């Protein structure tokens, strides 16, 4: 398998790629047709194509204020996450915890842990409320995101968030993540400092 490490000879790669093409071609020819289902329509693909990147790519045009968000939060979120985002039982806190991540009792919240406001928007939009994901309008998601950021002292009480302003918000833990260039890990594990999950 030395061809896979370094200094692979060009001729070796050519032989290898021809081999892969031939194998894929044969597999395709042998795939049985079941004649079930149908190709997804463009509208169906668009409805599921909701990912928002850290830089804000994918955010729909819209806006929502802290004041509106307080109402959305009380109606749709407080029952699980607490009146002001402090968490209830096993339901996670969304507010507080700033400065605790390197302590013995880290409290991970939107305010203390999440590196981007854009991905908070994405998460709420796709996954919350827990029992009815996908039911909030874009405006409600902008508003409730604004409210949670306000409770974390990240935006002021009169803030109105839009697809333009959200990517510009600098979250307190923006620089708290350590790149993990596996398989050549030369740095301490991210878990030694901050827990690194898929929220980036």
Positions 1 through 60 that interact with ligand HEC (CB under 6 A): none
Whose CA is closest to 94, among 140, 133, 150, 132? 150
Q: Tokens at residue 143, please?
A: 């508003």
Contact between 161 and 140 (Cβ < 8 Å): no
* Helix and strand totals (H; E) in the chain: 6, 2
Taking the complex as a whole, how short is the minimal distance between the CB of residue 13 and ligand HEC, in angstroms?
43
Positions 141 through 160 that interact with ligand HEC (CB under 6 A): 144
Longest CA–CA span in the chain (Å) reads: 66
Positions 169 through 188 that interact with ligand HEC (CB under 6 A): none
Distance CA 14, CA 21 (A): 11
Taking the complex as a whole, how short is the minimal distance between the CB of residue 94 and ligand HEC, in angstroms?
5
Is 166 a binding residue for ligand HEC by CB under 6 A? The answer is: no
Number of other residues whose CB lies within 10 A of the CB of residue 176:
18
Taking the complex as a whole, how short is the minimal distance between the CB of residue 189 and ligand HEC, in angstroms?
20
Site string for ligand HEC, 108-137 (x = CB under 6 A): xxx---------x--xx---xxxx----x-
Binding site for ligand HEC (CB under 6 A): 76-77, 79-81, 91-92, 94, 108-110, 120, 123-124, 128-131, 136, 144
């Amino acid at each position: 398998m030395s061809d896979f490490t370094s200094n692979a000879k060009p001729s070796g790669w050519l032989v290898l790629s021809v081999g892969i093409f031939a194998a894929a071609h044969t597999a395709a020819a042998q795939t049985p047709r079941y004649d079930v289902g149908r190709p997804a329509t463009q509208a169906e693909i668009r409805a599921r194509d909701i990912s928002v990147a850290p830089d804000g790519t994918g955010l729909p045009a819209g806006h929502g204020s802290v004041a509106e968000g307080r109402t959305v939060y009380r109606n749709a979120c407080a029952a699980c996450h607490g009146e002001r985002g402090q968490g209830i039982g096993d339901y996670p806190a969304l507010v507080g915890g700033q400065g605790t991540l390197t302590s013995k009792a880290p409290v991970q919240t939107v305010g203390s842990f999440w590196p981007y406001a854009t991905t908070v928007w994405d998460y709420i939009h796709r996954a919350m409320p827990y029992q009815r994901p996908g039911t909030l309008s874009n405006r409600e998601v902008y508003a409730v995101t604004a409210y949670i950021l306000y409770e974390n002292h990240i935006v002021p009480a009169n803030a109105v968030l839009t697809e333009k302003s959200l990517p510009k918000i600098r979250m307190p833990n923006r620089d708290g993540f350590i790149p993990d260039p596996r398989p050549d890990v030369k740095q301490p594990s991210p878990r030694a400092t901050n827990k690194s999950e898929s929220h980036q």
